[in-house]
A and B are shown apart, each in its own frame.
Chain A
Amino acid sequence: MLVNRRLILAHFWLAFAVFGLALLLGAWQMFVRSPLHTWLSNPEWYYRSLTAHGTVMGYVFPTLVAMGFGYAIAESSLQQRLIGVRWAWTGYGLLAIGAVMAMVPVALGRASVLYTFYPPLIGNAFYYIGVVLVVVGSWVWVALMSVNLYAWKKAHPGEVVPLPMFANVAGSYLWAWTAVGAALELLFQIIPVALGLKSTIDAGLARVFFSWTLHAIVYFWLIPSYIAYYTIVPRAIGGRLYSDTMARISFILFLVVAMPIGIHHVFADPMVGAGFKFVHSAFTALVAVPTLLTVFTICASVEIASRLRGGRGAFGWVRALPWDNPIMLAVTFSFVMLGFGGAGGLINMSYQLNTTIHNTQWITGHFHLIFGGAIVIMYFAIAYDLWPHLTGRALTDLRLMRTQLWLWFIGMIVTTFPWHYVGILGMPRRMAYYDYTNPALAPEAIQVTISVIGAVILVISGALFLTVLIRGQRTPQADSGPYRFSVALHPPTSLPAVLNSHGLWIALMIALTITNYGFPILNLAARSGTSVPAVYVGAQ
């Protein structure tokens, strides 16, 4: 029973609208730094675009998707009208205001510091305040998810929490805690300097705070997609979820281990001790486990769908799958990209292998493949699956949806595979232009050009995606019935407390944060001698 459809649609529309704009910026960036374009006479435009693209794609777009999907899950899986609708709209409003507040100085060229901030470079204070507001808006959603689950548990004592809500709330707690790192950096370090209240800042400590947020934020982005894997895909393709228990264990592992591993983002930094780098490396290895579990469970669930359709043989059952179903395509493409992106992630996680590709274009290629590819393609699937229930109208053009998904997949591969390769060649990140006539850099030229072609394909796919959604607001009204999630093969009738609530896991997440981040932070925060002068960007 989706009652607050306008609320959910508002989140999705804002998300996909800003996504479209940022996608255009991304394609432009790829083009202007390629051999196809003369060097920018004002390199600041490139860095301005990078800041806008990163901020929207990293902080605004996926947050809105998680929030919208979260509200939909809260109502549908709990079969309960959303509690706190006014608060939900307030959170949405705060996020929207924050996004605009952040984008205005960026658009004016007063905050071209990139979405990773990297003090001691300091931009206009309103950029940072805007980002803080975006985060605060999302924390309202976190509180509401918790409140809604609590109310349901009181009304259904001792019952099994539906898997979608269990995973959704786990994701919300993970986000709330992981956002604290960047919030501390912004509130206590950067904004005071941006407002002129202080003129020095500890750049190393700021990077440690940011690393707290930087890894787990990608799991916050990833959890809606994984929820879709477990609770949408099996149902959509006519199968069953192979194991409800394993699903819960995966989300629990993400909740505990996704967060206290961020120092692998500062492997190459001089302000963190080698011992902590190793501890984070070990826990990063652990966070690969839930993905391995997920791959198995989802493949097994998909196989069930195929066998129910008469699929035969050890591998031949793949042919019997409903390939005309866009959700089937989406999960397949997602898994292929997850495979390559995940392998790349294992390379990044190893200190030794990381030294070769750190801060080269390999990194950018990697996270575009895994986030822009594997995760975002499932956001498309979520939108396609939910849309009829949100709009009360059917999505009829399956062919257009399939084409859009194919183009996104092909575009991502064509964009990111050469991107990884130029990273291995040593092409550094974040430069507005490159001298491809230099013989040492000439081999990179063709690779970057291929990535531009991929970018064009992605823009076309993005336009098709928006077309499908817009058309979906205009087709004749059709009742799609209540929104349902997948059913487990062996639905649990009762569960141990550890698989039905989050308290223990949150406690472990916080405990690991203290052990893994406590000393690195206090070590630097307690010293005044490590603060360095701020460098204000774009002195006007």
Chain B
Amino acid sequence: MIGKPDVRCAGLKVLIVEDDFLVARSLEILLAGLGCEVVGPASTAEEACELIKARPVDGALLDIALSPGTSAPVARALLYRDRPFVFVTGYAGIGMLPDDLRGYRVLQKPVDRETLASALGEFIRQPGR
């Protein structure tokens, strides 16, 4: 189930923002299996922003709806640092995002290994990184 590290994303430092403990743990295991280094997971936007300030990250998986709030502030903090991110949502959570944050890639929960690996490879391993 965990499998071999994936060449597309091995070694990436990926922040997880997810308020559900079980889902966060799943993502953690999935990312570790792909060979990524997990930053977090953080269950709140505040906590995530602290982590971004404290540690360099290559990209992030952001659950849109948090309790309380959304991961919009984290997305902004990442944009400010020019770091890529992918939204993850259990439902049509895009509606909760402000207009300027729509149009970014959104993965639907539950996320499988292959989708995650390709999303990370495509979005996070960008030229110049």
**Co-assembled chains A and B:** no
